[in-house]
Amino acid sequence: MKSYKGTIGILTGGGDVPGLNPAIRAVTIRAVREGYRVIGIRRGWAGLVDLVPERDADNSRHVQVLSEDIVNRAGRTGGTFLHTSRTRPSHLPKVVVPERLKDRYDDDINDVTPEVLRNLEFLGIDFLVPIGGDDTLSYGQRLHDEGVRVVGVPKTMDNDVPGTDYCIGFSTCVTRTIELTHALRTTAGSHERFLVIEVFGRYAGYTALLPTMAGAADRCVIPEYPFGVERLAELLVEDRRNHPSRYAVVLVSEGARTTSEDMSFEGGEMDQYGHRKLGGVGDRVAARLKELSPAYNDGRRVNVVNQRLGYLVRCGDPDALDSIVPMAFGNIALDLILSGTSGRLVSVRNGVYDSVPIDVVTGRKKVVDVHRYYNTDRLRPKYKTLLRQPLFVMTSDV
């Protein structure tokens, strides 16, 4: 039987983004060449909840031994071949508790962390590498507090994980947002309309602000600043009037709020992290702009092209940055593992790769610094004082 230096577990949790497979590939190839066995845990934390810790059990749906051949094929693609979920083992609803555990966990909400720890021991995991956003990583911190050796890798196209300037998936999201917004201009221009585009961003407005800074839109509204829709209508009429093709563009973060209304949700159901599904603010804003436009356009109504980009910005292959950064993150994770260091989050800070304590993910929220980067009167980015700012400008996490 082949002997190994140890066993490393990898999982991906939360929403999919381009760049996850390159990160899995980077960790696996380096680890295998260093003499480690690598186990891919399927469906995020769900794989460690549903695993049956018995030698003769078929756990192929929950775990997979990874090889260079497997990850090389997957590493060029988007999404996550290990699959993902929003499972939170510390807050597991009774309805999804595995049948074999129902006699021990029959509350409406259950903490099945003891089972997760038992399953990690059963698998012989020496180091665990969760790749995810602050929700996934917050449970990684919980396991670290329980004595599990954890090295986290930040992923989210919202780019809102604290402790790092960059998260896997963000560059592809911004790139796609710019491309799709420019593509939709032809329709808005042909019909002389407002173009309202809803983009991701629950609490942080980076995915609206940065494409606007890059010239994709005239205005943007973000979760960090409740905006007046009347002021937005006035500005868009002004932009439309000044445009040769008589149209104007606004990017709307899904978590944006007007001064008179809160976030827009699709139904009341919450996931295991307490989040309701956002959606619909673009529809609301579009309807109000159409209604308000005559007041600023000499009594004439301006019609609206309204589009939610949704999963179009998170599907498909990663761009160059979301192929390179995951490679670096994965190798830094291995550097930490080889040195015996745990309880860390791989990061980029001020353009330099680094790592920070993993408890940063629960210590604070990472949001746009409105005072520094957002013109609240003009509802668009500030373009001054860019000297010595990081590559993505307002995403620095100090």
- Would you say residue 268 lies in a domain? yes
Residue type, 158: D
Q: What is the CATH number of the domain that holds 309?
A: 3.40.50.460
Residues 278 and 353 reside in one and the same domain = no
Q: Is 290 in contact with 237 (CB distance < 8 Å)?
A: no
Quote the CA–CA distance of 190 and 179 in Å, as a whole number: 18
Q: Answer whether residue 176 is part of any domain.
A: yes
Active-site annotation holder among 16, 50, 158, 397: 158
What pLDDT, on the 0 to 100 scale, is given for residue 331?
Answer: 97
Q: Is 219 within 8 Å of 239 (Cβ atoms)? A: yes
Whether residue 108 is found in the same domain as residue 204 = no
Residue 123 lies in a domain: yes
pLDDT over threshold 70, residue 397: no
Q: 183 with 160, same domain?
A: no
Is 158 catalytic? The answer is yes
| Structural domain containing residue 197 | 170-313+369-395
Same domain, 281 and 333: no
Q: Are residues 212 and 303 in the same domain?
A: yes
335 plus 224 within the same structural domain: no
Q: Are residue 303 and residue 332 in the same domain, yes or no?
A: no
Alpha-carbon distances of 255 from 200, 277, 288, 344, rounded to whole Å: 8, 10, 17, 29
Q: Please indicate, yes or no, whether residues 298 and 231 belong to a single structural domain of this protein.
A: yes
308 occurs within a structural domain: yes
Clarify whether residues 87 and 135 are in a common domain: yes
Residue 147: pLDDT band (50, 70, 90) is very high
If one counts the domains in the chain, the total is 2
In a domain, residue 1? The reply is no
Confidence (pLDDT) at 142: 97
pLDDT confidence band for 75 (50 / 70 / 90): confident
Q: Let me know whether 276 and 224 are in one domain.
A: yes
Q: What is the 3-state secondary structure (H, E, C) of 252-305?
A: EECCCCECCCCCCEEEEEECCCCCEEECCHHHHHHHHHHHHHHHCCCCCCCCEE
Position 362 pLDDT exceeds 60: yes
Quick one: average pLDDT of 286-314? Answer: 96
Give the pLDDT score at 374.
95
Which residues, in sequence order, are bridge partners of residue 381? 374
Q: At residue 388, does pLDDT exceed 60?
A: yes
Does residue 159 share a domain with residue 73?
yes
Q: Do both 53 and 139 map to the same domain? A: yes
Q: What is the CATH number of the domain that holds 53?
A: 3.40.50.450
Residue 275 has pLDDT above 60, yes or no: no
Give a yes or no: residue 235 inside a domain: yes
Give domain status of residue 2, yes or no. Answer: no
